[in-house]
Structure 1
Amino acid sequence: MKLHQLSTLAAIADTGSLRAAARSLGVSPAAVTKAVRELEADVRAPLVNRGTNGITFTEYGRALVVHARLVLGQLARAESELDAMRGAAAGKLSIGVTPWVALTFLPETVQRFRRRMPDVQLEFFEGLLAVVQPRLRDGTLDFSIGRPPPASPQGEFQHVPLFSTHAAVVARRGHPLADCRSILELEDAEWVLNWDPASRESMADNLFRRRGMKVPHTIHLAHSSTILMSLLSHTDMLSICPWPLVELTMAKENLCALPLRETVDETIVSVTSRRDAPPGPAGTCFLDCLREVIDEGARSKDPEQRRLFHSIELLL
């Protein structure tokens, strides 16, 4: 297998057709077809199906695309690391970020990072498990920042705790349950949460069952912070949000945090990466910037800044 063949296969997967792959690579469609045929001969298996509806991958092709992306991603990281050692940091850093971190700490972190590594292109993905896990696996994502996914049986990912924070139960102002003092009073409420379905049982245990509360009958899922905030503002649904997001959005979204006696949830935000591909120099710089933003925010003389960071505890 040759590098240009793997690049061709990955380009077909990314663009969806031979012609589009040829355009992205700057070669002719004939060159793309030749590379695929040579690769099929090398691996002694069909990789793509050519039909009236375009190109689809065989099971061999789908498996090889994952490895092709890993090889290409690892080479790109190696080039970036060598550039950084030469003092010419460039390249691209791809990061998955959980939505509430994106709304709170990300802008200042990016500005700080850009001052230090202005030639590095940043690419962000919303850090939902269904989005980040396949990209971490195939090497198109350097790392993600958020609640760590459930342990995989292969132990393919490593999770480095970054900080912890607490959460609050949130409702619209004037909600009939806005003055409740115990989470047990919320048993019959309607909820909308941004749980990942894969984490549902562990989250239900952590939030409800261990407090002697039955899991609410109606729990809607919102895979978007915009949708979540809209539903909270205009319905009688409840949700659970990290305190930094609560502080940032309460006034703007006409929301309130219920004055519960119980600590609702402690969230550990971790940096998740492939076990064999920890963050390189650019990734380490980005994470350093994030830690600085949180640390300085917690010690700020601005009371609004301190309120945003009051529930954050750095773990590294």
Structure 2
Amino acid sequence: MKVHQLNALITIADTGSIRAAARTLGLSPAALTRTIRDLEANLHVPLVNRSATGITFTEYGRSLIVHARLVVGQIAQAEAEIDAMRHAPAGKLTVGVTPWVAFAFLPETTRRFLERMPDVQLEFYEGLLGVVQPKLRDGTIDFVIGRPAPATMQSEFRNVPLFVTHSTVVARRGHPKAHSRSLAELTDATWLLPWDLSSQDSHAQILFKRYGLSAPKRIHFVHSLAITLAQLVNSDMLSIFPWPLVEIDMVRERVCALPIGEDLEETSVGIISRRGQPMSSVAECFVQCLRDVVSDDVRSQNPERRRMFHSIEVVA
């Protein structure tokens, strides 16, 4: 297999047709078709199904695309590493970020990173691990900042812990259950929660079972902080937020923490990357900037910043 063949396969997948891929690559459709046929001949399997209505990929083709993205991405990363050793670092860094971490730490991390590496182009994907995992797997994303991968994925992804924090139940201001002091008062409520890949049960189900209570019957799932806030503010749904998110002004103005007596689970945040693939110097720089920002905020002399991050415990 040659790199230009893999790149041709990726481009066809991204553009959806031979003709569009040929335009993108500056080739004729006939030349691109020959490239794919040569690759099929080398592998002795069909990769693409061609018909009058367009193209689809065989199971071999779909599998190869995943590996092709990783190979091409690794080569691009290696070239960027060598270039960084010769000149100022450049290239592109793509990061997946859990929404609340983006609100709390991303702006200052980005500012510090770009001071050090102004020629690096950043691309961010907002989303929980369950959403961005396919892009992490195929190399579209370099690493993810968020909850660790579940145990079933530990052989595929590596997790480096950053910090842990506590969570709380939240509701809109003026919610009829805003003054509830126990989980037992919330079993009949409607919940809106992120889906946790590490368990068949949701956070709320696990939490209620821990205290010997029946799990709520009405639980809906969400993968967007913006959607969560919109739903909470305009309904009687409840959710579970990490404490730093609750203390952010734009959130605190819209929702309140319920004064329940039970302890909620800790939320762990780390750097999730593909196992067996070293992080580039550019990625390492971004992670170090993030570590510095978290450490500075936790130790800040600013009362507002200290309040916001009082629940965070940095992992050495």
Provide TM-score, normalisation by structure 1: 0.94
**How far did 1:116 drift?**
0.7
Equivalent residue letter for 1:315: V
Give the match for residue 131 of structure 1: 131
Gap regions ≥5 residues in structure 2:
none
1:290 aligned onto 2:290: yes
Are the counterparts in 1 of residues 151 and 198 from structure 2 also a CA contact under 8 Å? no
**How far did 1:269 drift?**
0.5
Are the counterparts in 2 of residues 143 and 273 from structure 1 also a CA contact under 8 Å? yes
Identity %: 60
Distance 1:198 1:54 in 2: 38
What secondary structure, in the 3-state scheme, does the structure 2 residue paired with 1:167 have?
strand
Q: Deviations over 1:66-94 (max 9, x none)?
A: 11111111111212222233342111111
Aligned residue runs from structure 1 range 187-206, under 5 A: 187-196=187-196, 199-201=199-201, 203-204=203-204, 206=206
Compared CA separation, residues 2 and 231, structure 1 to 2 (3 A): same
Equivalent residue letter for 1:229: L
**How far did 1:30 drift?**
2.3
Give the match for residue 146 of structure 1: 146
Are the counterparts in 1 of residues 156 and 274 from structure 2 also a CA contact under 8 Å? yes
Equivalent residue letter for 2:164: S
Distance 2:223 2:299 in 1: 33
Distance 1:152 1:84 in 2: 36
Aligned residue runs from structure 1 range 48-197, under 5 A: 48-152=48-152, 155-196=155-196
Compared CA separation, residues 82 and 206, structure 1 to 2 (3 A): farther
1:216 aligned onto 2:192: no
Are the counterparts in 2 of residues 94 and 123 from structure 1 also a CA contact under 8 Å? yes
What secondary structure, in the 3-state scheme, does the structure 2 residue paired with 1:105 have?
helix
Equivalent residue letter for 1:21: A
Distance 2:189 2:228 in 1: 16
Compared CA separation, residues 150 and 202, structure 1 to 2 (3 A): farther
Moved more, 242-251 or 115-124: 242-251
Q: Deviations over 1:115-155 (max 9, x none)?
A: 11111111111232333221222122111111122223671
Distance 1:129 1:293 in 2: 22
Equivalent residue letter for 1:225: L
Are the counterparts in 2 of residues 206 and 265 from structure 1 also a CA contact under 8 Å? no
Equivalent residue letter for 2:17: S
Distance 2:142 2:193 in 1: 27
Give the match for residue 275 of structure 2: 275
Distance 1:89 1:158 in 2: 25
Distance 2:136 2:18 in 1: 25
Give the match for residue 34 of structure 2: 34
Are the counterparts in 2 of residues 191 and 237 from structure 1 also a CA contact under 8 Å? yes
Compared CA separation, residues 197 and 159, structure 1 to 2 (3 A): closer
Q: Deviations over 1:261-288 (max 9, x none)?
A: 2222210011111111132111111111
Equivalent residue letter for 2:99: P
Compared CA separation, residues 204 and 234, structure 1 to 2 (3 A): closer
Q: Say what the alpha-carbon RMSD is for the aligned residues.
A: 1.8
Distance 2:153 2:301 in 1: 46
Moved more, 81-90 or 98-107: 81-90
Give the match for residue 15 of structure 1: 15
Compared CA separation, residues 154 and 45, structure 1 to 2 (3 A): farther
Distance 2:201 2:191 in 1: 15
Provide TM-score, normalisation by structure 2: 0.94
Are the counterparts in 1 of residues 16 and 55 from structure 2 also a CA contact under 8 Å? yes
Moved more, 228-237 or 148-157: 148-157
**How far did 1:308 drift?**
1.6
Equivalent residue letter for 1:251: R
Q: Deviations over 1:212-235 (max 9, x none)?
A: 122110001122111100111111
Aligned residue runs from structure 1 range 243-258, under 5 A: 243-248=243-248, 249-253=250-254, 255-258=255-258
Distance 2:253 2:60 in 1: 51
Are the counterparts in 2 of residues 137 and 274 from structure 1 also a CA contact under 8 Å? yes
What secondary structure, in the 3-state scheme, does the structure 2 residue paired with 1:152 have?
helix
**How far did 1:184 drift?**
2.3
What secondary structure, in the 3-state scheme, does the structure 1 residue paired with 2:273 have?
strand
Gap regions ≥5 residues in structure 1:
none
